[in-house]
Chain A
């Protein structure tokens, strides 16, 4: 317009004012009925305002317009008033007084509405539509810019209270409701169903707390009526009900287990996943507040779910015809679903969909088909609403008033879709339920893996995780490896051998309280081991043209929990070490010394472990007695087996003799009973008493006397000894069987260990000297003895008494002394013979046995690892049972012998006593 001339302006103003004054003067009350000068005055005023209508004259313009508005009262014709108000509204609008303009526009609309005419109603509707900006009621269709600006405010997550307030600027709810209602009325009357729908929707959504339930139902029917007149599939920019907020992104297990593959590393699975029970460590990088930065990976072709919460705060039943996730990126196929919501109720639903192609995905909200119209509900709007409600700026929080718990603000994570990956699905053959095993039970579990994806599995690796990992005895890695590549749809079955672990005492205590009811519970406490199967497809995507540009598709991890429910099985009560001295009978053969169990095998005769053959010489037998009780309601059969290591030089094949093959009977333990099982320990003696067992550095200590020998030997050999004990224990197997299918092994390591701890040395280490008696060849031909028992009793020898000796005969004997050490032993051997009463019957006045040869103080030198024979003869005067015992006093004992004998003083003589041998003498006295 250019610069105004103030002089000219004043002149114009002056003229107008004088004209207005003239009109006003000529207004006469009696004349008013005929012709009123008012309209002329108003016209002049408006013209003056139009001339002055600029910001610098705002005050004057406002004054003039208010005068003009006052004049409206005096106008008789409603249409005149309408024109006047239109003009005033327009002028206020020109001045920039939007609210004033809106006010007069609404007056115009009311005047239009007073006319009973659909055209007038359309005008009213259009005029009201212009007021929406001032009243901040715009439909979302016209509101794109302001939304964009509000984005910037809300993005920060946490808002400054002041900026929260600005979000809810002009909450003139009364005005807004009135205007919306007028828009609704006018649009209904004007026959614009979409506008009516939109107005009703906004009214219902924004002001439901101020509307009575009857009014809410009225609005609902208005929505339905409007929708009836709309073509189906109509979209509206303004959402109605329900309120929808994001609840959570449930992470599917397969999504958790996506593992990035590093093309540079062959074994990409190592360290890729937390293998311990702590998935979340406090030392992980980044603070938890960064959780909105989390990322989700979705996979093409694998359905995903998003949980949203719907709420209907109104007093009528709401039926959502379909609701689905609205995704604009076009690479996601949402699945619609139908929901109905009772009055004042909330519902959490899972919306699912299928990613269709690679790329990022954003989920701004949901698309809802409700009240016959399709609308989009944005999560952000509800978030803002809730934010305002939290600050007391909004009328009501729809979620809280429906009793839904407060949620923290859920942010949409960054979601990206990756190309299809193989997907292994596992199931346990014979049912996915937990396997119920007794403690120590061994069972094969078949796990079948199926590739449910569309890409072959080309790499796979199995590892163990979780608790009780050592209960998995074997996993058939090779079966899986050989099945690769696993084509889509293909299946492979992997046998896994599980040995049920021991229940801890805490478990037992809790189980003991309520014995029967808690059986199922024991498996739920996460004590089962897990198989972690890392697998991946090919390194290069089949469709990818450029190898370098496309990232390596990630691998995946499948967690197969081996659901094992361990029941308390046989329980161990106590272990005791028993030692027995069972005298052997003297026969023509030397009793087999335990260290060289040659005849045990080469003899071909099954050697039972416990059944004692008196002629074999099972002296110094040590047994481990285990007391077991059976608290279960099934029967257990126990078998003890000892694996014997036979390093026989002649026989190159290593023997592993299972003692159970030797006819050792099974011990059956009935339910609620206890039983004892004996484990023989005699075959564990080492062949040589070696210094290495006691000391490594014996030489340095040798001159300092043997007082310290025992202490240092204990220290130094602790580890070695423990290793031997462990070796010993590992060879003892207590197996049980219950019913047809259950069998297992009893874990008695700790029990044995504690029982053996004190006397392990005695069991493991041989005596320095072993003694044996034997009849000299000349007495009775051995063949006769062996064959006799079955035939007629020619020699009056009772059956089974082979090697018996007749009284009144000179019987030659031989005594053998074997040196088990690596050094020459000098000693004095003496032999005694006692009768059943234990009286020495060689010496003394009442000697009943005569002898020939030397029986006491025989000086001998036994070379290392050799045996020495000494012959003598006895003449028994009285038949009966006699006992022969050989003993020796070792001269110049070295440290090893002392340590073995557990003596401290260097002067104390070391005394070795052999086991007693029985001699049965028959005949008449």
Chain B
């Protein structure tokens, strides 16, 4: 398991619709802000990169200091972004795929307005379990 990881889902309108600090490192508020800033900045790169490949998993697209941003882009251009410091690429890929499945289930919920914040606690628990499993 990675010592630091921040997972975020960004809707196609560039709104973060889900955020989770999944690292085992002690949580510092300042660090959490920094993670978000890095992820936010990485959106620029993802925006260009997503159209150059047919793969959904874009691998590591950005880095700042020791932190690496891995991105998975769904067909609907929702971006699953993980900020991490480990290099376990296979685990991250599996993590993204599983989370994508969860996200699709959320999308299928007729009560969920696509593009709005995901507030389901079930989803949250599942994502954290997946993070423990793969990262």
- Residues of A bordering B, CB below 8 Å: 58-59, 62, 66, 69-70, 73, 92, 96-100, 102-104, 106, 135, 161-162, 165-166, 168-172, 174-175, 178, 391-393
Chain B window 93-121, contacts with chain A (Cβ cutoff 8 Å), 1 for yes, 0 for no: 00000000000000000000111110100
Cross-chain contact of B49 among A59, A66, A92 (Cβ < 8 A): A59
CB-CB nearest in chain B for A165: B115
Choose among A102, A135, A162, A171 the residue that contacts B15 (Cβ–Cβ < 8 A): A171
Docked Cα-Cα span, A103 to B43, in Å, equals: 11
Q: B33 and A174: CB pair below 8 A?
A: yes
Interchain CB contact under 8 A, B64 and A170: no
Nearest residue, chain A, Cβ from B65: A73
Say yes or no: B13 contacts A106, CB within 8 Å: no
Which residues of chain A are within 8 angstroms of B130 by Cβ–Cβ distance? none
With a CB–CB cut-off of 8 A, which chain B residues contact A172?
15-16, 36, 40
Q: Are A66 and B62 in contact (CB under 8 A)?
A: yes
A175–B116 CB distance below 8 A: no
Q: Kindly list 11 other residue pairs between chains A and B, CB separation below 8 angstroms, not including A165-B115, A175-B33.
A: A59-B48, A62-B45, A92-B44, A99-B40, A99-B42, A135-B40, A172-B16, A172-B36, A178-B37, A392-B119, A393-B117
Q: Least Cβ distance of A111 to chain B in Å? A: 14
Interface string of B34-77 (1 = CB under 8 A from A): 00111011111100110010000000001111000000000000
B32 interface residue per 8 A CB criterion: yes
Residues from chain A with a CB closer than 8 A to the CB of B89 are none
Given contacts A102-B41, A103-B37, A168-B15, contact A174 B115 (CB under 8 A): no
Picked from A98, A99, A162, the residue with its CB within 8 Å of the CB of B115 is: A162
Q: Which 7 A-B pairs have the closest CB atoms?
A: A103-B41, A97-B44, A165-B115, A99-B44, A100-B44, A178-B33, A100-B41
The answer to whether A66 and B115 touch across the interface, beta carbons within 8 angstroms, is no
Q: Are B15 and A170 in contact (CB-based, < 8 A)? A: yes
User: Are the C-beta atoms of A392 and B13 separated by less than 8 Å?
Assistant: no
Task: Please report the C-alpha to C-alpha distance between residue A313 and residue B59 in the assembled complex, in whole angstroms.
Answer: 44
| B113 and A161 contacting across the interface, CB-CB below 8 Å | yes
Taking A58-B48, A59-B48, A172-B40 as contacts, is the C-beta distance between A66 and B63 under 8 angstroms?
yes
Whole-angstrom CA separation of A887 from B99 in the bound complex:
121
Q: A69-B64, A172-B36, A175-B36 are in contact. Are A99 and B41 (CB under 8 A)?
A: yes
**How far, in angstroms, from A392 to B11 measured CA to CA in the complex?**
15
Q: Chain B contacts of A62 at CB under 8 A? A: 45, 62
Given contacts A165-B13, A169-B13, A170-B15, contact A391 B37 (CB under 8 A): no
Task: State in angstroms the CA–CA spacing of A103 and B38 once bound together.
Answer: 7
List the count of A-B residue pairs having beta carbons below 8 Å apart.
78
Q: Is B14 an interface residue (CB 8 A)?
A: yes
Max chain A CB contacts within 10 Å: which of B14, B42, B44?
Answer: B44
Q: For the complex, what is the distance from the CA of A161 to the CA of B111, rounded to whole Å?
A: 13
Main SS at interface, chain A: helix
Q: Give CA–CA (A872, B73) in the complex, Å.
A: 136
Name 23 interchain pairs, CB-CB below 8 A, sorted by A. Answer: A62-B45, A66-B62, A66-B64, A97-B45, A98-B44, A99-B43, A99-B44, A103-B37, A103-B40, A103-B64, A106-B37, A161-B115, A162-B114, A162-B115, A169-B15, A170-B14, A171-B16, A172-B16, A174-B36, A175-B36, A391-B113, A392-B116, A393-B15
| Complex interface: chain A residues within 8 A of B44 (CB) | 92, 96-100
In angstroms, Cα B66 to Cα A73, docked, is 10
Chain A residues with CB under 8 Å of B113's CB are 161, 165, 391-392
* B41: nearest chain-A partner, CB-CB: A103
- Cα of A70 to Cα of B63 in the assembled complex, Å: 9
B115: nearest chain-A partner, CB-CB:
A165
Tell me the complex Cα distance, A106–B52, Å. Answer: 29
CA A391 to CA B119, docked complex, whole Å? 13
Q: Does the CB pair B64–A175 fall under 8 Å? A: no
CA distance A62 to B45 in the complex (A): 8
Q: A58 to B46, alpha carbons, bound, how many Å?
A: 11
**Complex Cα distance A97/B48, Å?**
10
Q: How far is the CA of A584 from the CA of B63 in the complex (A)?
A: 132
Complex Cα–Cα for A69 and B45 (A): 15
Residues of A within 8 A of B45 (CB): 62, 97, 100
List the A side residues contacting B40 at CB < 8 Å: 99, 103, 135, 172, 175
Q: What is the bound-complex CA distance between A444 and B76, given in angstroms? A: 81
Verify A169–B14 contact, CB threshold 8 A.
Answer: yes
Residues of A within 8 A of B13 (CB): 165-166, 169-170
Contacts of B49 in A (CB 8 A): 59
Residues of B within 8 Å of A178, CB to CB, are: 33, 37
**A169 cross-chain contacts in B, Cβ below 8 A:** 13-15
A174 vs B41: C-alpha distance when bound (angstroms): 14
Closest B residue by C-beta to A168: B15
Chain B residues positioned under 8 Å from A174 (CB to CB)? 32-33, 36
Complex contacts, B32 vs chain A, CB 8 Å: 174
A393 touches which one: B36, B37, B63, B116 (CB < 8 A)? B116
In the bound complex, what is the Cα–Cα distance between A135 and B11 (angstroms)?
Answer: 16
Say how far A133's CB is from chain B's closest CB, in angstroms.
Answer: 13
CB distance from A725 to the nearest CB of B (A): 74
**What is the CB-to-nearest-CB distance from A105 to chain B, in angstroms, rounded to a whole number?**
10
Partner of B37, one of A59, A97, A170, A175: A175
Compute how far the CA of A66 lies from the CA of B69 in the bound complex, rounded to whole angstroms: 12
Closest to B11 in A: A165
Nearest CB of chain B from residue A728's CB, rounded to whole Å: 77
A162 to B113, CA, bound (A): 9
CB distance from A684 to the nearest CB of B (A): 82
Distance in Å: Cβ of B18 to nearest Cβ of chain A: 12
B37 surroundings in chain A (CB, below 8 A): 103, 106, 175, 178
Contact indicator B116/A165 (Cβ below 8 Å): yes
Which of A96, A106, A391 is within 8 Å of B116, CB to CB? A391
A178 to B48, CA, bound (A): 27
The CA of A169 and the CA of B11, in the complex, are separated in Å by 10
Measured CA separation A97–B46 after assembly (Å):
11
A92 to B42, CA, bound (A): 12
Residues of A within 8 A of B41 (CB): 99-100, 102-104
Contacting pair A165 B36 (CB below 8 A): no
Q: How far is the CA of A161 from the CA of B37 in the complex (A)?
A: 28
Residues of B within 8 A of A100 (CB): 41-42, 44-45
Cα-based distance from A171 to B14 in the complex (angstroms): 8
Q: Which residue of B lies closest to A388 (CB)?
A: B116
Instruction: Looking at the assembled complex, report how far the CB atom of A649 sits from the nearest CB atom of chain B, in whole angstroms.
Output: 96
In chain B, what residue has the closest Cβ to A169? B13
Cβ–Cβ < 8 Å partners of B33 in chain A: 174-175, 178
With CB as the reference atom, state the residue of chain A lying closest to B119. A392
Tell me, rounded to whole Å, the shortest Cβ–Cβ distance linking A903 to chain B.
88
Please indicate the chain B residues that have their CB under 8 angstroms from the CB of A97 in the complex.
Answer: 44-45
CB distance from A83 to the nearest CB of B (A): 18
Q: Roughly how many angstroms separate A104 CA and B37 CA in the complex, as a whole number? A: 10
How many Å from the CB of A806 to the closest CB on chain B? 118
Whole-angstrom CA separation of A104 from B117 in the bound complex:
28
For A135, give the chain B residue with the smallest CB separation: B40
Indicate the member of A96, A161, A169, A174 with the most B CB atoms within 10 Å.
Answer: A174
Residue of B nearest to A95 (CB): B44
Q: Which residue of A lies closest to B34 (CB)?
A: A178
- Please indicate the chain B residues that have their CB under 8 angstroms from the CB of A392 in the complex: 113, 116-117, 119
Distance in angstroms from A140 CB to nearest chain B CB is 21
B14 — which chain A residues lie within 8 A by C-beta? Answer: 169-170
Q: Pick the most buried of B14, B16, B41, B43: most chain A CB atoms within 10 A of its CB.
A: B41
Minimum Cβ distance to chain A for residue B126 (Å): 21
How far, in angstroms, from A171 to B41 measured CA to CA in the complex? 14
Q: How far is the CA of A66 from the CA of B43 in the complex (A)?
A: 14
Bound together, the chains give a CA A135 to CA B16 distance in angstroms of: 13
- Name the residue of chain A whose CB is nearest to the CB of B43: A99
Residue interface bits B1-28, CB-to-A below 8 A is 1, else 0: 0000000000101111000000000000
Closest chain B CB from A873 CB (angstroms): 117
- What is the CA–CA distance of A178 and B13 in the complex, to the nearest angstrom? 21
Expressed in whole angstroms, the minimum distance between the Cβ of B77 and any Cβ of chain A is 13
With the chains together, A102 CA to B43 CA distance in Å?
A: 12
List the B side residues contacting A135 at CB < 8 Å. Answer: 40
Residues of chain A with a CB closer than 8 A to B63's CB: 66, 70
